[in-house]
Amino acid sequence: MNRGTAKDRATTRTARGGVPEHFLVFRDTAPRLHGRFVVVRWKTS
């Protein structure tokens, strides 16, 4: 799971276009489904 999450992290970073590490870490800590929502919510805030 850790390896898969790490790969997802890199993919998200490129897709978002350079998202702060804080968001990446937050998403890693949060569940996969909620992780995406959390990142979007934090970005909007």
The dihedral of CA 33, 17, 1, 38: what is its sign? negative
Number of structural domains (the chain) is: 1
> Distance between CA 45 and CA 42 in Å, rounded?
5
pLDDT value of residue 32: 55
pLDDT value of residue 38: 56
Using pLDDT thresholds of 50, 70 and 90, give the confidence band for residue 3: low
pLDDT in tens, 12-44: 555 555 555 555 555 555 555 555 555 555 555
pTM: 0.14
User: What is the span of the domain harbouring residue 16?
Assistant: 2-44
Helices (H), 17-44: 21-29, 32-44
pLDDT at 1 over 50: no
